[in-house]
């Protein structure tokens, strides 16, 4: 079985993000970048499937800058066999263009299964998995919490999260699955794995070489980023229950004007 995992490098979720004064992007100086947390579940599940199914190959694939090699080496350290970086040059590509690049490379890999995180921690779009599936004309299942490859190797039994419960479906392979938290518990890289990852060659392809007219695929454009408005301080009501109720009603009626 050949498995491909789509990953993304994102700012550390614990970092304090600052927006540039002109709203054109975030301040990157001194900012730490990590493997997208939801992608960690996708990588771990792919490694587990590789361990269960003999003669399996695991590829990790991303679109990003030169620094994105860091997360690819992390994926190799936990069990990926090959890593591919599609090098983004110039202005950042929109999600539709990114999906086109990923799909173009995936076509040459002929995978049986594609995994991704359900969404990225930076833009929160939950877009790439479905867009790649549509481009490749593969079935797509989102928010996956359990994966079982059936004995014939041509179908997968999937458990996915739905509101108020779970849904179990069978899907033909090849397909695209997006991983939800709870799918597994991602492992830490071993020392041996980290040493192996440092020596492993990463395939680098320029985006323009893979799809010469990639910019024409753009469907969205970032106009401006702006911080969330500062939330005003809360009010604490004091006194007897009767007084607090009266003060609350007055506040809602006279100040907030919601009643």
Q: What is the DSSP string of 1-37?
A: -EEEEE--EEE-TTS---B-TTSSSB--TT--EEE-H
Checking if the pLDDT of 11 tops 90, the result is yes
In-domain check, residue 224: no
> In which band, very low, low, confident or very high, does the pLDDT at 240 lie, cut at 50, 70 and 90?
very high
Other beta carbons within 10 angstroms of residue 36's beta carbon come to 25
- pTM value is 0.88
* 175 vs 165: CA distance, rounded Å: 23
Asked, for residue 170, whether it belongs to a domain, the answer is yes
> Do 154 and 238 sit in the same domain of this protein?
no
Q: What pLDDT score was predicted for residue 90? A: 84
Phi, psi values for residue 169, rounded to 5°:
-135, 160
Collapsing DSSP to helix, strand or coil, 169 comes out as strand
pLDDT at residue 32 greater than cutoff 90: yes
First to last CA, the chain: 62
Answer whether residue 225 is part of any domain: no
158 plus 45 within the same structural domain:
yes
Q: Identify the burial level of 58 via C-beta atoms within 10 angstroms of its C-beta, where 0-12 means exposed, 13-18 middle and 19 or more buried.
A: buried
**DSSP codes joined into one string, 54-94:** TT-EEEEEEEE-GGGHHHHHHHHHHT-SEEEEEE--SSPPP
Average pLDDT over residues 209-231: 89
Same-domain pairing of 165 and 248: no
How many Å apart are CA 84 and CA 72, to the nearest integer?
8
Per residue in 46-103, pLDDT (tens digit) is 999 999 998 999 999 999 999 999 999 999 999 999 999 999 988 889 999 999 999 9
What is the pLDDT at residue 153? 85
Lowest mean pLDDT of 8-12, 30-34, 131-135, 219-223, name the range.
219-223
Residues 254 and 159 in one domain: no
Instruction: Give the pLDDT of residue 95.
Output: 93
pLDDT at 172: 96
How many C-beta atoms surround the C-beta of residue 9 within 10 A? 23
Helix (H) or strand (E) holding 172: strand 165-172
Tell me whether residue 144 is in a domain: yes
**Residues 82, 208: one domain?**
yes
- The pLDDT score that the predictor gives to residue 3 is 98
Same domain flag for 150 and 180 = yes
Taking alpha carbons only, the member of 196, 205, 203, 204 closest to residue 76 is 196
Question: Comparing 178 with 236, which gets the higher pLDDT?
Answer: 178
pLDDT at position 204 is: 97
28 inside domain: yes
Looking at the structure, do residues 109 and 213 belong to the same domain, yes or no? yes
Measured between alpha carbons, how far is 53 from 78 in angstroms, rounded to an integer?
17
Would you say residue 30 has pLDDT above 90? no
Q: Which residues pair with 115 in a beta bridge?
A: 5, 177
| H helix or E strand, kind and range, residue 52 | helix 37-52
Both 27 and 79 in one domain: the answer is yes
pLDDT score recorded for residue 129: 96
Report the alpha-carbon distance of residue 62 to residue 187 in Å, rounded. Answer: 20
Confidence band, pLDDT 50/70/90 cuts, at residue 7: very high
Structure tokens belonging to residue 241: 């229950």
The model's pLDDT over 161-215, given as tens digits with 9 standing for 90+, comes to 999 999 999 999 999 999 999 999 999 999 999 999 999 999 999 999 999 999 9
| pLDDT tens readout for residues 110-160 | 999 999 999 999 989 999 999 999 999 999 999 999 999 998 889 999 999
Q: Please give the pLDDT value at position 233.
A: 84
Query: What CATH number does the domain containing 159 carry?
Result: 3.40.50.620
Inform me whether the pLDDT recorded for 44 exceeds 90. yes
Give strand pairing partners of 64.
87
Total domains in the fold of the chain: 2
* Residue 242 and residue 183 in one domain: no
């Amino acid at each position: 079985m050949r498995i491909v995992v789509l990953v993304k490098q994102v700012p550390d979720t614990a970092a304090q993000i600052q927006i540039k004064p002109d709203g054109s992007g975030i301040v990157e100086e001194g900012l730490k970048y990590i493997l997208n947390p939801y992608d960690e579940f996708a990588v771990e599940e792919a490694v587990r499937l590789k361990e269960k199914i003999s003669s399996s190959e695991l590829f990790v694939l991303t679109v990003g800058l030169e620094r994105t090699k860091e997360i690819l080496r992390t994926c190799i350290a936990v069990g990926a066999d090959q890593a591919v970086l599609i090098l983004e040059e110039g202005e950042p590509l929109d999600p539709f263009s990114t999906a086109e690049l990923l799909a173009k490379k995936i076509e040459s890999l002929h995978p049986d299964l594609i995994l991704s995180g359900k969404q990225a921690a930076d833009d929160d779009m939950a877009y790439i998995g479905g867009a790649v599936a549509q481009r490749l004309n593969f079935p797509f299942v989102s928010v996956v919490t359990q994966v079982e490859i059936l004995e014939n190797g041509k179908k997968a039994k999937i458990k996915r999260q739905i509101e108020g419960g779970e849904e179990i479906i069978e899907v033909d392979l090849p397909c695209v699955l997006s991983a939800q938290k709870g799918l597994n518990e991602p492992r830490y890289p071993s020392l041996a794995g980290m040493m192996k990852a440092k020596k492993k060659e990463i395939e680098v392809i320029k985006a323009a070489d893979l799809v010469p007219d990639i910019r024409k695929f753009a469907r969205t454009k970032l106009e401006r980023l702006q911080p969330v408005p500062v939330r005003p301080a809360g009010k604490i009501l004091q006194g007897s229950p009767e007084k607090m109720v009266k003060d609350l009603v007055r506040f809602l009626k006279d100040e907030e004007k919601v009643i």
